[in-house]
Structure 1
Amino acid sequence: MDLVLHLADDYLLDKVWARLLPLNDHLGLPPYAHLSTSANFTSVPYFSQSAWPRDYIPRQIISLSVITFIGIHCLYFLFAWLSYRYIFNHDMMRHPRFLDNQVKQEIQCSLRAFPMMIILTLPWFQAEVMGYSRLYDSVEDYGWLYLGLSVPFFLFFTDYGIYWVHRLLHHPSIYKTFHKPHHKWIIPTPFASHAFHPVDGYLQSVPYHVFIFVFPLHRCLYLGLFVFVNCWSILIHDSDMVTGHALEKVINGPAHHTLHHLYFTVNYGQYFTWADRVGGSYRQPESSLDPMLEIKKQS
């Protein structure tokens, strides 16, 4: 997020803040030319025309909030709509457990959750912007081999973390409050991908944030992976039960997650099946479990 904020400042936000809070406003801050002191970027000095310079924390928090708010809405509606339009089998909407106006309810649930999820996530983003993460800029810092290996490492690390967070959310003491709202969607559509209780959605994102404070990761790669994991979450909520493909026993795909929504206590993983296999919660997708069979019975 520090990269996104830096680019947003360069191309838009410096002008916005200069207009909203120009120098010489009586805000208790000295009206002087400010030099960039970002811990994450080496840039040439620039003249800030705002009384709130780039490294002023209240400005950073507000900017991050607005960027995240706009970004998550754009990502959600764009990729969920594409999946819903071109991948999701609309015949699934005739399933007896598909709710009336479910798509509208999924979208409304997501929109209600986003503001609180953003607030809970802001401390991670702010710490990242202030230079406390281990994100780096130059490939030469760790080499091309590490750059390539960091992708599967990131996915395996976060997958295992999400597995246990997800499984914990199914514990009877907290399930009803935090995770049951997501399981309202027995036959989910891609719009259910972010339809969580905000605490639920935040907790399942924590492993992504923890990773970059423990392990080095290229800044651009992290941004790409962050978009990817959100798209993957959308993809696995399309109620698809295509079975028999070569990677079925390795990749935790849409068919596996469809079984999770149908049976609740299986296939907690996000990308891979290994954590479920080790944890004894794996269930193999089979054509006999396809929810489409229930629809065909009605025909």
Structure 2
Amino acid sequence: MDVVMQYVDEYFFDSVYLTVSALTGTPYLDRTNLIRVFCSLFVFIMSYIVIFYLGTAGFEYHYIYDKDNLKHPKFLKDQVRMEITTSLKAFPTITLLTIPWIYMEINGYTQLYEDPFKYGIGYLAASSVMFILFTDFLIYWIHRLLHHPLVYVRFHKLHHKWV
């Protein structure tokens, strides 16, 4: 992500922040400014999530999804629109929860490395599998937490409206 953000800064955000600075008379925020980093990550991640979601979900809906499901008696009126709206409303919160992790990765607080041969192919394969298992483990427990009575109704019940 650090390499991606270098390019996005160079070809997009540098000029955006320079223009905003000139138009508002505020000081220019350099690339290390925490406010700039946060705002840049938010805009980049939100844009990516929306494009990825609408692209993949749209493709799947138009080319793969069995439209006969729309005729099922339990299928709600305007359910597809409601699901898309709910997802789009959730993306800012998901983005805010993601930013600290990406910030740590960009600033070298992780064990990520760029050379796949640094520790050998075996380690690369094992660490890839462990990453997927660890991520899945965390997602499972986060989902379990969302079913806690103090959290469920406010944050998670809507998810089960159409599952």
Question: What CA deviation, in whole Å up to 9, does each residue of 1:231-264 have, x standing for no partner?
Answer: xxxxxxxxxxxxxxxxxxxxxxxxxxxxxx3xxx
Paired AA for residue 117 in structure 2: E
Write 1 or 2 for the structure with the bigger share of helix: 2
Shift of 1:148: 2.1
CA RMSD of aligned residues (A): 1.9
Q: Distance in 2 between matches of 1:59 and 1:78?
A: 28
TM-score by length of 1: 0.50
Q: Distance in 1 between matches of 2:73 and 2:54?
A: 26
Alignment of 1:156 with 2:140, yes or no, is no
Shift of 1:105: 0.5
How do 1:100-119 and structure 2 match up within 5 A?
Answer: 100-119=77-96
Shift of 1:153: 1.5
Question: Is the partner of 1:178 in helix, strand or coil?
Answer: helix
1:4 matched residue in structure 2 = 4
Shift of 1:170: 2.3
**Could you list the runs of 4 or more consecutive aligned residues of structure 1 that deviate by over 3 angstroms after TM superposition?**
none
Alignment of 1:21 with 2:30, yes or no, is no
Q: Distance in 1 between matches of 2:65 and 2:131?
A: 28
TM-score by length of 2: 0.86
Shift of 1:6: 1.5
Q: 2:40 aligns with which of 59, 63, 75?
A: 63
Q: Distance in 2 between matches of 1:10 and 1:142?
A: 32
1:290 matched residue in structure 2 = none
Gaps of 5+ in 2: none
> Larger radius of gyration, structure 1 or 2?
1
Shift of 1:152: 1.7
How do 1:198-277 and structure 2 match up within 5 A?
Answer: 261=163
Alignment of 1:175 with 2:157, yes or no, is no
Equivalences, count: 161
How do 1:36-51 and structure 2 match up within 5 A?
Answer: 51=28
Paired AA for residue 177 in structure 1: R
1:90 matched residue in structure 2 = 67
Q: Distance in 1 between matches of 2:50 and 2:26?
A: 35
How do 1:67-82 and structure 2 match up within 5 A?
Answer: 67-82=44-59
Paired AA for residue 16 in structure 1: V
Q: Distance in 1 between matches of 2:161 and 2:19?
A: 45
